[in-house]
Homo-oligomer: A and B are copies of this chain.
Amino acid sequence: MDPNILTGLLTPASSKIVFIILDGVGGIQVEEKGGTELQAARKPNLDQLAEVSSCGLLEPISPGITPGSGPSHFALFGYDPFQYNIGRGILEATGIDFPLTERDVVARINYATIDKNGKVIDRRAGRISNETNERICRKLKGSLQLSRAVEAIVESVKEHRAVLVLRGEGLRGEIEDTDPEREGVLPFKPKAMIPEAEGTAKLVEEFISQSQNILADEPKANMVLLRGFAKHTRYPSMKERYGLNALAIAAYPMYRGISRLVGMSVVSSVSTLKEEFKALADHFAEYDFFFLHVKQTDSRGEDGDFDAKVAVIEEVDQFIPQVRAINPDVLVVTGDHSTPAKLRSHSWHPLPIILHSQCCLIDPVKKFDEVSCISGALGKMPSVQLMPLALAHARRLTKFGA
């Protein structure tokens, strides 16, 4: 549905919407465990919530498509993940919670080792330590001086990874990667893909040659390889689209970064689940929409640690009563995608969702898991359709058509 139609239906309300997003919560059965992670978890509070709610399955992007964290969250926030597929550079910047502006072109940096002929001999510079990375970033920042009134910002990520932000007027992102993605060859030149990007490409060349000089005496990280160039464009905010003052509560910087892209305020001083759920209660009066992100379900899934993922689900379950006590008008519990411990990676499998409100149809589902929720009232729906549904349950949408 055209998001402008939705925006046109908005009606003022004081209702509050809470999304509790268990990253990668979906799983598939592991035979010796007798089910999926959600089936194995003891989670009386989530199951009781399912019992009085509408349940279903979310299709993160499209059948068979395994999403990265960017597209899967954009879809949850109601942004078409194909239209708003952000580049790697932007994602790295959001990953360190770096505040971007519309004057910025961003790229991912790999620090690399080149030999005396300029050929890449290690694309990851021996995975230098975070400390070395930070020292090198400082060294570059202190010495870089581009010819035009363009600022070159180098921000450390970790190991061999960093972010380049070129900030200035009239910059373009249509620039080819310089990372050859293999060793034994010269890095590529930063070629403009369109004539309008030639000025920016020249600046990138300057950046590379200055960096190479500055890093010449480094034993390992003596070169920068760049990829995923993209101009940062402003997203329509959740305030503009949905009339919502939104708050993100996330321990991991990347999710705060993604939230900021859609105009959310962020709570950054949280690291444990307890702190996250306390922040929800503490800020409940101030905002209309709350995105509370639980990272560990995904991390333990990627570890392939079924039992540890179960334990995270069981821990989240403990906090459900205090969420219900603050009485949000709409309470959604789901994930952004599946990360089955069996696969040790993100996957394409649909994942269960609970939607609770005073006006939800109560279906026969009594447990929050992949199999039980097949029979739910929501059926199987694309993640991108969740926001309109949440707004409706929050009584924030008027009738379409007379």
Contact = CB atoms under 8 A, between A and B. Distances in A.
A371 B380 contact: no
Given A63-B388, A360-B28, A81 B1 contact: no
Size range of the chain A interface in the assembly:
35 or more
B64 A401 contact: no
Contacts of A392: 63-66, 347-348
Contacts of A266: none
Given A374-B377, A379-B379, A66 B359 contact: no
A161 to B, nearest CB: 12
A286 interface: no
Interface string A87-105: 1100110000000000000
Given A65-B9, A359-B340, A389-B63, A88 B402 contact: yes
Contacts of A340: 359
Contacts of A346: 399
Given A64-B385, A364-B371, A371-B361, A85 B401 contact: yes
Contacts of A85: 400-401
Nearest to A351: B361
A19 to B, nearest CB: 15
Interface in A37-91: 57, 61-72, 81-82, 85-88, 91
B86 A29 contact: no
A370 B359 contact: no
A398 B64 CA distance: 10
A390 B66 contact: no
Nearest to A81: B401
Nearest to A345: B399
A244 interface: no
B349 A29 contact: no
A391 B70 contact: no
Which one of A2, A82, A342 has the greatest number of beta carbons of chain B within 10 Å? A82
Nearest to A31: B362
A81 B1 CA distance: 11
A92 to B, nearest CB: 8
Interface string A338-370: 001011001111100000000111111000001
Interface string A237-268: 00000000000000000000000000000000
A381 interface: yes
A339 to B, nearest CB: 11
Given A348-B389, A374-B376, A389-B348, A361 B65 contact: no
A5 interface: yes
A331 interface: no
Contacts of A175: none
30 contacts: A1-B82, A5-B82, A9-B65, A29-B362, A57-B377, A62-B388, A63-B385, A63-B386, A65-B392, A66-B397, A66-B400, A69-B402, A70-B401, A71-B400, A72-B401, A92-B402, A346-B399, A347-B359, A347-B392, A348-B389, A348-B392, A348-B397, A350-B377, A350-B379, A362-B371, A363-B374, A364-B374, A371-B377, A375-B375, A379-B379
The 8 closest A-B pairs by CB, nearest first: A64-B388, A64-B392, A68-B401, A71-B401, A379-B380, A64-B389, A63-B385, A91-B402
Given A92-B402, A228-B402, A348-B392, 19 more contacts: A1-B65, A5-B82, A28-B362, A62-B388, A63-B381, A63-B388, A63-B392, A64-B391, A64-B393, A65-B400, A66-B399, A66-B400, A67-B399, A69-B402, A71-B401, A86-B402, A88-B402, A348-B389, A379-B379
